[in-house]
Amino acid sequence: MTREEGVKQQNPAIVKDITLDDLMPGDVTVQVKYTTINYKDALAITGKSPILRTYPMIPGIDLAGEVVSSQSDKFKPGDKVLLNGFGVGETHMGAFSGMARLKSEWLIPQPEGLSGWQAMAIGTAGYTAMLCVMALERAGLTPSDGPILVTGANGGVGSVAISVLSKLGFHVIASTGRASEEPYLKRLGAKEIIDRNELSLPGRPLGKERWAGAVDSVGSFTLANVLSQTRYGGSVACCGLAQGMDLPGSVAPFILRGVTLHGIDSVMAPIERRIEAYRRLVSDLDKDLLTEVATEIGFDDIIGKAEELLAGKVRGRLVVTMS
pLDDT in tens, 50-89: 666 677 888 999 999 999 999 999 999 999 999 999 999 9
Asked if the structure places residue 259 within a domain, the reply is yes
Dihedral sign (CA 39, 41, 46, 52): positive
Alpha-helical runs (H) found in 139-270? 156-167, 182-188, 220-228, 252-256
**Length of the chain counted residue by residue:** 323
Please count the structural domains in the chain.
2
The pLDDT tens digits of the residues spanning 138-194 come to 999 999 999 999 999 988 899 999 999 999 999 999 999 988 889 999 999 999 999
What SS3 class is residue 23?
coil
Tell me, yes or no, whether 119 lies in a domain.
Answer: no
Q: Is residue 160 part of a domain?
A: yes
Same domain, 181 and 294: no
DSSP 300: G
| Structural domain for 249, as ranges | 124-263
Query: Does 88 fall in a domain?
Result: yes
Same domain, 151 and 53: no
| Total-model pTM | 0.89
Q: CATH code at 91? A: 3.90.180.10
Residues 254, 132 share a domain: yes
For 71-126, where are the E strands, in sequence order?
A: 80-84, 99-102, 108-109
253 and 139 fall within a common domain: yes
